[in-house]
């Protein structure tokens, strides 16, 4: 179902963790159709931390969902870790995602009936992979929750829940971690902790992180920022600072008006 | 507030389908049987016919009222719970708890009224058919004409509307109040039901084999025992789940989900236990009774025939209502979990794994419900068989029981799997954000 792309190294990981080629997505019927993504081509290197920014309705959430295999683009190619995501049913896509992709959402999406430790190992159990308890404890200790293994999600603060979600995203050792507004529901201190953990995932564990956000402060933790406007790429910023991001974001609309 | 109630009904008629259906069926049953009172009350009806008719009307009328109340209450509880967001919004917009109460009660009264009016036609046909059954079996004279009069009409509408209003009042009171632990009262009622049930079952031995009322104490005892078991079921289920050696991701999730949701599951177990118990007990006892009468060589008396007809009708009614309650509560419980399914899918569960989990939960529920229902049923059947015949075990119980178990399993698994399948059609990301 999933074609392996040609590789220079037969068994090594692909140099590009994520690659989108002319990805388009339209919502709605003919007359009221809205183009959420308009031929986006994007390539992210392994071990990079990229923020995707843009005004509301710019298509950044759609981009994330198409790239992560949660939604199917109308046209274009999505490749994760050198493997192309093709059609197939949801089960097929789920199996594709399991080993390659981890998620962190604004609303945490922890299962309320499972404890912190059970939530963390859930992706492994679902994939029928071996659960290494020592490793799980290690990961949860690394996110600062080593003493909360038996707690239920509603006994935790928002920041703690998000850290469980990060631990869960790390446990399967995925190539790419997608984070959709991971700090959107957090106070500034918890947000900082979460962003540092995402940075660590890239620097220490060698993961690739793609984070959708509307917050210039959050974006400044990334290595680079990709701007999106009206479903198209609208520039990139390397080694971003808060002010530079905010400045760029404020003038995104101007560029579109001038017809650049 | 009533205007708001009517508007909210016009916009979302589908939501009231379950309430309407139970009100309709309840009203139809009550009117059908109460029209026997009207028929018996006509001038020129002989006393034997009149007595047969009145007995049927009184017995089933009583059951019917109770069942309408339970069924409407179950559908309304679900309805109110599904609309908790809307109710919260109304509260934030300045509606007082009394206004919300009036709205929900007003809605359900209107639905019940519609259901009762719709039931008039079918009840007339049903009453006519019922009279024919009585006439064919010789319980009622051929010359008696059918009459659908004021007793049927008024009792049908009144009982249905009152039951709906009461059920709505209780449902909304539970919803608008902040949740509070209610362990004590529940435990008390559970043990009280079990104690009275055991006493009723034991009192069977005080009757002689020939008593006409011999069947009453074990049946009532069995009902009370099943209510007691249903109230205790969360704790019993927890005990079972701790010992369950289920492996595989779906079984793992099923057990962990159910362990945390045992309180909600008792709403599903109640109709399941009641259904198994009532159907098993009544049908087996009737089979024993028939065998005993055949063995005695005496042709069936009118009383015996009346009893048989009534038993079968009562079982039929209970089966239909338990099924409605079971389907409704399972449907609601499963629809409610769309978000949870979405979260599982985002964590890497395939739709097949989610369905397997729902299926495993359904099997555990069915086994628990059937087990306690059977236990309660047997508690009624065994004393009855002991007193009525020389043996302990009813002769043809197994076939009846297997059919009942098959129906219970089909309804439980069918409803939850079909509902879950529909819930899985929503994309995982949308399912997670919809209910948030």
* Average pLDDT value for residue range B57-67: 74
- By Cβ distance, the residue of A91, A103, A107 closest to B352 is A91
Please give the Cα distance from A109 to B391 (Å, whole number): 59
Among residues B135, B157, B180, the one where a domain terminates is: B180
- Residue-level pLDDT at B435: 46
3-state secondary structure of A17: strand
- Residue-level pLDDT at A163: 93
Whether residue B194 is found in the same domain as residue B115: no
Residue of B nearest to A165 (CA): B347
Residue of B379, B266, B323 lying closest to B67 (CA atoms): B323
Task: Report pTM.
Answer: 0.80
Residue B418 pLDDT class (50, 70, 90 cuts): very high
Contacting residues of B for A103, CB less than 8 Å apart: 346
Contacting residues of A for B429, CB less than 8 Å apart: 65, 70-71
Please give the Cα distance from A139 to A182 (Å, whole number): 19
CB within 8 Å: A113 and B260: yes
3-state secondary structure of A180: strand
Q: Which two tokens stand for residue B93?
A: 């917009």
Among residues B131, B160, B180, the one where a domain terminates is: B180
Please give the Cα distance from A61 to A192 (Å, whole number): 22
3-state secondary structure of A46: coil
pLDDT tens digit sequence for B93-136: 888 878 888 888 888 899 999 999 999 999 999 899 888 888 88
Whether residue B277 is found in the same domain as residue B157: no
Q: Is the pLDDT of residue B302 over 80?
A: no
Most distant CA atoms of chain A, gap in Å: 57
Whether residue B301 is found in the same domain as residue B159: no
Computed over every residue of chain B, the mean pLDDT equals: 84
Chain centroid to Cα A152, Å, comes to 25
B30 or B215: whose pLDDT is higher? Answer: B30
CB within 8 Å: A125 and B252: yes
Whether residue B278 is found in the same domain as residue B134: no
- Residue-level pLDDT at B321: 80
Residue B317 pLDDT class (50, 70, 90 cuts): confident
Whether residue B13 is found in the same domain as residue B162: yes
- Residue-level pLDDT at A259: 46
* Average pLDDT value for residue range B241-266: 81
- The helix (H) or strand (E) run that includes residue B7 is helix B2-11
pLDDT tens digit sequence for A205-251: 899 999 999 899 999 999 999 999 988 998 899 999 999 999 998 88
Q: Which two tokens stand for residue B409?
A: 């399993």
pLDDT tens digit sequence for A184-204: 889 999 999 999 999 999 999
Domain boundaries of chain A, sorted by first residue? 16-258
Whether residue B186 is found in the same domain as residue B62: no
Which residues, other chains included, contact A23 with Cβ-Cβ below 8 Å and sequence gap of 6+? A37, A39, A40, A41, A63, A66, A67, A73, A75, A76, A77, A78
- Residue-level pLDDT at B14: 66
pLDDT tens digit sequence for B201-227: 888 888 877 776 787 788 888 988 988
Please give the Cα distance from B289 to B377 (Å, whole number): 16
Triad B309, B310, B312: Cα angle to 5°: 70
Q: Which domain holds residue B237?
A: 182-436
Q: Which two tokens stand for residue A104?
A: 């962190």
* Average pLDDT value for residue range A62-75: 90
Task: Assess contact for B201 and B221: CB atoms under 8 A.
Answer: yes
Whether residue B251 is found in the same domain as residue B347: yes
Percent of chain B exceeding pLDDT 70 equals: 94
Residue of B nearest to A100 (CA): B348
Contacting residues of B for A126, CB less than 8 Å apart: 249, 344, 347-350, 353
Q: Is the pLDDT of residue B178 over 60?
A: no
Residue of B35, B60, B159 lying closest to B109 (CA atoms): B159
Distance from CA of B346 to the nearest CA of A (A): 8
Question: A27 φ, ψ to 5°?
Answer: -110, 150
Whether residue B268 is found in the same domain as residue B352: yes
- Residue-level pLDDT at A122: 92
Residue of B50, B203, B34 lying closest to B127 (CA atoms): B34
B427 close to A (CB below 8 A) = yes
Provide the domain count of chain B. Answer: 2
Mutate: best of A63, A68, A114, A118, partner B, most B CBs <10 A: A114
- Residue-level pLDDT at B374: 94
* Average pLDDT value for residue range B353-361: 94
Whether residue B379 is found in the same domain as residue B236: yes
Task: Assess contact for B368 and B262: CB atoms under 8 A.
Answer: no
Q: Is the pLDDT of residue B12 over 70?
A: no
Residue B402's CB: how many other CB atoms inside 10 A? Answer: 10
* Average pLDDT value for residue range A148-173: 92
Q: Is the pLDDT of residue A9 over 60?
A: no
pLDDT tens digit sequence for A92-113: 889 889 889 999 998 889 998 8
- By Cβ distance, the residue of A90, A109, A118 closest to B256 is A118
Residue of A nearest to B429 (CA): A70
Q: Is the pLDDT of residue B350 over 90?
A: yes
Residue A12 pLDDT class (50, 70, 90 cuts): low
Please give the Cα distance from B173 to B182 (Å, whole number): 14
Whether residue B276 is found in the same domain as residue B149: no
The answer as to CATH 3.30.465.10 being correct for domain A16-258 is: no
- Residue-level pLDDT at B187: 83
ipTM of the complex: 0.85
Q: How many CA atoms lie within 13 A of A135 on its CB side?
A: 11
Q: Is the pLDDT of residue A260 over 50?
A: no
Q: Which two tokens stand for residue B428?
A: 């995982």
Whether residue B196 is found in the same domain as residue B175: no
Whether residue B75 is found in the same domain as residue B121: yes
Among residues B180, B201, B233, the one where a domain terminates is: B180
Please give the Cα distance from B353 to B49 (Å, whole number): 60
Contacting residues of B for A91, CB less than 8 Å apart: 350-352
């Amino acid at each position: 179902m999933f074609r392996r792309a040609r590789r220079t190294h037969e068994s090594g990981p692909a140099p590009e963790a994520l690659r989108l080629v002319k990805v388009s997505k339209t919502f709605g019927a003919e007359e009221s159709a809205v183009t959420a993504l308009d031929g986006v081509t994007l390539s992210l290197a392994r071990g990079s931390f990229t923020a995707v920014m843009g005004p509301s309705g710019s298509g950044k959430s759609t981009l994330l969902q198409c790239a992560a295999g949660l939604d199917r683009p109308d046209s274009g190619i999505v490749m994760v870790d050198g493997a192309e995501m093709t059609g197939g049913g949801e089960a097929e896509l789920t199996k594709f995602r399991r080993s390659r992709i981890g998620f962190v959402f604004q609303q945490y999406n922890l299962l309320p009936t499972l404890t912190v430790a059970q939530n963390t190992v859930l992706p492994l159990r679902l994939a029928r992979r071996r659960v290494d308890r020592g490793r799980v404890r290690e990961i949860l200790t690394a996110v600062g929750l080593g003493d909360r293994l038996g707690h239920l999600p509603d006994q935790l603060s928002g920041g703690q829940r998000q850290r469980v979600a990060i631990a869960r995203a790390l446990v399967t050792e995925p190539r790419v971690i997608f984070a959709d507004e991971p700090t959107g529901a957090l106070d500034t201190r918890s947000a900082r902790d979460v962003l540092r953990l995402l940075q660590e995932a890239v620097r220490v564990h060698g993961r690739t992180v793609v984070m959708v956000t509307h917050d210039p402060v959050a974006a400044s933790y990334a290595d680079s920022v990709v701007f999106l406007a009206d479903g198209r790429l609208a520039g990139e910023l390397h080694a971003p600072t808060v002010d530079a991001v905010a400045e760029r974001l404020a003038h995104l609309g101007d560029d579109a008006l001038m017809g650049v | 507030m009533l205007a708001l109630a009517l508007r909210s009904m016009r916009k979302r008629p589908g939501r009231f389908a379950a309430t309407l259906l139970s009100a309709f069926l309840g009203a139809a049953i009550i009117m059908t049987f109460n029209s026997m009172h009207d028929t018996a009350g006509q001038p020129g009806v002989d006393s034997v016919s009149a007595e047969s008719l009145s007995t049927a009307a009184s017995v089933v009328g009583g059951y019917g009222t109770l069942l309408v109340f339970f069924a409407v209450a179950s559908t309304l509880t679900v309805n109110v719970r599904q609309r908790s967001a809307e109710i919260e919004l109304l509260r934030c917009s300045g509606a007082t708890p009394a206004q919300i109460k009036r709205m929900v009660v007003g809605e359900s009264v209107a639905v019940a009224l519609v259901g009762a009016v719709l039931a008039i036609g079918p009840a007339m046909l049903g009453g006519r058919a019922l009279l024919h059954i009585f006439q064919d079996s010789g319980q009622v004279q051929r010359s008696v004409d059918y009459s659908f009069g004021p007793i049927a009409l008024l009792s049908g509408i009144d009982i249905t509307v009152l039951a709906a209003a009461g059920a709505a009042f209780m449902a909304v009171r539970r919803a608008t109040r902040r949740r509070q632990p209610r362990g004590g009262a529940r435990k008390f009622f559970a043990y009280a039901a079990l104690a009275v049930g055991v006493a009723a079952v034991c009192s069977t031995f005080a009757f002689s084999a020939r008593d006409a009322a011999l069947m009453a104490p074990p049946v009532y005892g069995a009902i009370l025992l099943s209510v007691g078991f249903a109230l205790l079921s969360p704790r019993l289920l927890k005990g079972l789940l701790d010992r369950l050696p289920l492996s595989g991701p779906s079984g793992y999730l099923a057990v962990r989900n159910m362990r945390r949701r045992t309180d909600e599951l008792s709403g599903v177990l109640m109709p399941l236990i009641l259904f198994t118990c009532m159907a098993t007990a009544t049908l087996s006892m009737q089979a024993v009774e028939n065998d005993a009468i055949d063995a005695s060589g005496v042709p069936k008396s009118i009383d015996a025939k009346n009893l048989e007809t009534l038993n079968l009708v009562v079982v039929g009614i209970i089966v239909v209502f338990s099924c409605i309650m079971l389907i409704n509560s399972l449907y609601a419980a499963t629809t409610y979990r769309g978000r949870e399914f979405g979260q599982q899918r985002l964590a890497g569960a395939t739709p097949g794994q989610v369905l397997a989990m729902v299926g495993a939960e359904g099997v555990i529920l069915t086994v628990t419900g059937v087990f306690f229902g059977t236990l309660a049923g047997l508690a009624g059947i065994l004393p009855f068989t002991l007193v009525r015949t020389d043996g302990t075990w009813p002769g043809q119980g197994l076939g009846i029981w297997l059919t009942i178990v098959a129906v219970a399993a089909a309804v439980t698994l069918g409803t939850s799997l079909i509902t879950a399948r529909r819930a899985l059609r929503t994309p995982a990301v949308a399912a997670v954000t919809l209910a948030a």
